[in-house]
Amino acid sequence: MNDQPGTAQVSTVVQDMASVDAAIESRFSCRAFLPTPVARDTIADILRVASRAPSGTNCQPWKVYVLQGASRDALVGKVCAAHDAIYADPSLAASYKEEYDYYPEKWVSPYIDRRRENGWGLYGLLGIAKGEKDKMHAQHHRNFRFFDAPVGLMFTLDRVMGRGSLVDYGMFMENIMVAARARGLHTCPQAAWNGFGRIILPHIGAGEDEMLVCGMALGHADESHKVNAFHTPRVPVEAFTHWLD
């Protein structure tokens, strides 16, 4: 481990480009994990590497809560119960609001098209047809079990921080996911938890000045589960890039 990263960052040569690319390109939202434990030292090392993410004026706004064992299981029980209660009585949803808009209020093309492709591609693979609400609820419910991953991460941000800190957070979380791949692990970033902050924040011991950014599942992928055969497409570079000469 380099204790003085500033002395080597400029001169470091990345010898194995293929491995760096493979860590990025093999990252996907894993939706089925094995119960195999992940060592605390491994998690800490992933977070150490991820903390090299850039942030505005180096404010490093991230706060991470790692849930394993009994703390993880207790949170799963609480949020699963709330999720089931909302399904039984949709009026309860008004009591569970996320603190920032992750998705737009109004969907427009091409984003709504990609969202639908993603949703129906996943449900189609799992044999869930349009209108099968019970099956959809059951699949969505798996979010709140961290897809059986033994490690759950909750990310919070001090409410005093600006919207730019969410940009910083995205880079930090991407580093976590790539560093996890380098160690043979997989992840699933999860905005599904965001509406349950009123349950999650007290459970993890977050301060009153913190808001929930999102959660993440971390562990060993269940390679035999068909859901992990689902990989989302990406539009070509030409579709989102404007070259200005």
CATH code for the domain in which residue 173 is found: 3.40.109.10
Arithmetic mean of pLDDT, 121-138: 94
Interval 142-200: pLDDT, tens: 999 999 999 999 999 999 999 999 999 999 999 999 999 999 999 999 999 999 999 99
The pLDDT score that the predictor gives to residue 9 is 83
Average pLDDT score, the chain: 95
Q: With respect to residue 95, please indicate whether it lies within any of the assigned structural domains.
A: yes
Whether the per-residue pLDDT at 128 is higher than 60: the answer is: yes
Q: With respect to residue 114, please indicate whether it lies within any of the assigned structural domains.
A: no
Q: With respect to residue 120, please indicate whether it lies within any of the assigned structural domains.
A: no
User: What domain range is 169 assigned to?
Assistant: 28-103+143-230
The pLDDT score that the predictor gives to residue 11 is 87
**Residue 5 — very low, low, confident or very high, per pLDDT cuts 50/70/90?**
low
| Domain count along the chain | 1
Q: With respect to residue 133, please indicate whether it lies within any of the assigned structural domains.
A: no
User: Residue type at 102?
Assistant: Y
Identify the bridge partners of residue 154 per DSSP, sorted by sequence position: 65, 215
Q: With respect to residue 165, please indicate whether it lies within any of the assigned structural domains.
A: yes
Arithmetic mean of pLDDT, 40-65: 98
Q: With respect to residue 23, please indicate whether it lies within any of the assigned structural domains.
A: no
Whether the per-residue pLDDT at 1 is higher than 50: the answer is: no
Q: With respect to residue 85, please indicate whether it lies within any of the assigned structural domains.
A: yes
Q: With respect to residue 57, please indicate whether it lies within any of the assigned structural domains.
A: yes
Half-sphere exposure of 138 (CA within 13 A, CB side): 8
Q: Which of 112, 99, 72, 49 is nearest to 203 (CA)?
A: 72
Query: Cα–Cα distances in Å, from 28 out to 59, 77, 95, 147, 229?
Result: 28, 26, 31, 14, 10
CA–CA gap between residue 151 and residue 42 (Å, rounded): 12
**Would you say the pTM of this structure is higher than 0.85?**
yes
Interval 208-238: pLDDT, tens: 999 999 999 999 999 999 999 999 999 999 9
Whether the per-residue pLDDT at 69 is higher than 50: the answer is: yes
| Cβ–Cβ under 8 Å, residues 192 and 143 | yes
